[in-house]
């Protein structure tokens, strides 16, 4: 068993192997023939869900979708109990939910479980982002990148995943929306091991100055709609929109990244999102490549885990 529930469940060497295999994108044939992969979505998903379904099917496996609309997940059974039952039918699982729910499901499932995104981390997304940067710039080590916006799950994963591979990450957020302290601590520790670094700022122009990639995400992620909070956030984040003026502070060959979905003319202008510097469709395409690579490598990672063979 090998669980990927947060970004540093992968070592830097394992991340590099995933990126190498994803870059080659060689046909996986029937690597999952006869195997069923459970896809649990307690939160809404588009790109993650579809790319996983296509990845599993293209490798000869059977994707089994479980969500709140067509199951009894919301009827009171604990997720640990659901996991125990699903382990009788399926071979491994990907799950999108709040982190506490992911941890509970994984504990019950007892088989390889991968986070498909939570309120704290999105490990498969950052692998696709790093692949995009690798395709664009080649060597990742020492590359300066910036994240502007909310200190959310995507920000956490950008910090941790990029620092683990030796990138220099600058994050600019409003003072009341900094990334979580535990995520900052883990990212800085990863940077100490790899030669990467993390700098926290409140000035977007300072964060973007001379950078090679500017990343943003929606200002409200995995939270219920609240019109009052939305209006408050628009005021707090007004200076953090990634637009042509802000992007002009970046390096001339800088690229724009966004995990999508984007709320046009909120966190990013349509002009920049659709510009020649935008790599958002490439990022989305790389989700499929990374999922295929992960599915191929998960058995190896399980064998390499410290508990293997016990």
Residue 96 appears among annotated catalytic residues = yes
Which one of the listed residues 122, 258, 279, 292 is annotated catalytic? 122
Residue 122 appears among annotated catalytic residues = yes
CA 211 to chain centre: 21
Which one of the listed residues 49, 103, 119, 125 is annotated catalytic? 125
Structure tokens at 53: 């379904």
Q: Which positions ≥6 away from 9 have C-beta within 8 Å?
A: 2, 3, 123
Please state whether beta strands 144-148 and 168-172 pair in parallel, antiparallel, or not at all (unpaired).
Answer: parallel
Which one of the listed residues 47, 178, 186, 287 is annotated catalytic? 287
Q: How many CB atoms lie within 10 A of CB 302?
A: 16
Q: Which positions ≥6 away from 159 have C-beta within 8 Å?
A: 147, 169, 171, 179, 183, 184, 187, 198
Q: How many CB atoms lie within 10 A of CB 138?
A: 8
Residue 259 appears among annotated catalytic residues = yes
Which one of the listed residues 178, 233, 258, 259 is annotated catalytic? 259
Cα dihedral 51, 4, 152, 68 sign: positive
Which one of the listed residues 49, 96, 168, 289 is annotated catalytic? 96
Which one of the listed residues 217, 233, 241, 283 is annotated catalytic? 217
Site of tokens 């950052």:
126
Residue 155 appears among annotated catalytic residues = no
Element (H, E) at 35: none
Q: How many CB atoms lie within 10 A of CB 238?
A: 9
Closest to 4 in 3D by CA, of 115, 101, 90, 108: 115
Task: Count CA atoms closer than 13 A to 147's CA, side-chain side.
Answer: 32
C-alpha to C-alpha distance for 41 and 38, rounded to whole angstroms: 10
What does the radius of gyration of the chain's CA atoms come to, in whole angstroms?
A: 19
Residue 91 appears among annotated catalytic residues = no
C-alpha to C-alpha distance for 24 and 289, rounded to whole angstroms: 9
End-to-end CA distance of the chain: 11
Please identify every residue annotated as catalytic.
96, 122, 125, 217, 259, 287
């Amino acid at each position: 068993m090998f669980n990927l529930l947060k970004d540093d469940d992968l070592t830097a060497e394992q991340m590099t192997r995933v990126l190498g295999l994803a870059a080659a994108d060689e046909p996986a044939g029937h690597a999952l023939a006869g195997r069923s992969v459970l896809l649990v979505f307690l939160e809404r998903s588009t790109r993650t869900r579809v790319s996983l379904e296509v990845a599993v099917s293209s490798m000869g496996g059977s994707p089994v979708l479980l969500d709140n609309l067509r199951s009894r997940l919301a009827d009171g059974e604990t997720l640990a109990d659901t996991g125990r039952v699903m382990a009788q039918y399926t071979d491994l699982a990907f799950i999108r939910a709040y982190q506490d729910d992911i941890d509970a499901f994984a504990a019950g499932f007892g088989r390889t479980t991968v986070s498909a995104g939570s309120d704290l981390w999105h490990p498969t997304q950052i692998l696709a982002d790093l692949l995009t940067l690798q395709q664009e710039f080649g060597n990742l080590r020492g590359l300066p990148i910036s994240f502007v916006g909310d200190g959310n799950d995507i920000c956490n994963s950008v910090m941790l995943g990029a620092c683990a591979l030796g990138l220099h990450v600058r994050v600019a957020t409003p003072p009341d929306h900094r990334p979580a302290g535990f995520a900052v601590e883990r990212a800085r520790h990863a940077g100490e091991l790899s030669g990467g670094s993390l700098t926290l700022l409140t000035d977007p122009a300072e964060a973007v100055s001379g950078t090679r990639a500017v990343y943003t995400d929606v200002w409200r992620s995995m939270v219920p709609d609240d019109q009052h909070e939305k209006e408050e956030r628009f005021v707090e984040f007004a200076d953090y929109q990634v637009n042509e003026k802000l992007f002009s502070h970046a390096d001339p060959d800088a690229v724009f990244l966004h995990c999508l979905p984007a709320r046009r003319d909120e966190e990013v202008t349509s002009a920049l999102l659709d510009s020649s510097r935008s790599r958002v469709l490439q990022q989305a395409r790389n989700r499929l490549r990374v999922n295929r690579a992960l599915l191929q490598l998960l058995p190896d990672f399980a064998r390499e885990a410290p508990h293997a063979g016990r």
